[in-house]
Amino acid sequence: MEETKEISLDGGESQKIVFIADRESAGVCKVEINGLTGSFVVQEKAPSAAKEEISITPAPIPNWGRISGLMAGAVTAGLVSYFWIRKQGKTNLRMPAI
């Protein structure tokens, strides 16, 4: 006997009583309540699915505004350098006569 509980009921009255049976092994368990008998089946515990942690990191979204700005800056620096070097070359050609 695992557990008992005594209750009193008037004629025609009913009450729900819950007993929780925690069994380690599978098999048939017999129950007796005031001379009435019954049974229930304990089944083997289903194997639990292996849980695996998955970490997903989304790919970074390119910042097109920054990329465009850097490209425009590089083109501007290139053009400024080109025209500055070109201007310097022209001034070097005008050497005073000795």
Residue 74 lies in a domain: yes
Q: Would you state the pLDDT for residue 94? A: 58
Counting the structural domains of the chain, the total is: 1
Q: What token pair was written down for 15? A: 């009450």
Q: Would you state the pLDDT for residue 73? A: 95
DSSP string, 2-44: ---------TT-----------SS-EEEEEEETTEEEEEEEPP
Residue 6 lies in a domain: no
Q: Would you state the pLDDT for residue 71? A: 94
Query: Which domain covers residue 73, as residue numbers?
Result: 68-93
The rounded distance, in Å, linking the Cα atoms of 81 and 85 is 6
Report pTM: 0.32
pLDDT band at 85 (very low <50, low <70, confident <90, very high): confident
Between 48 and 62, residue with greater pLDDT: 62
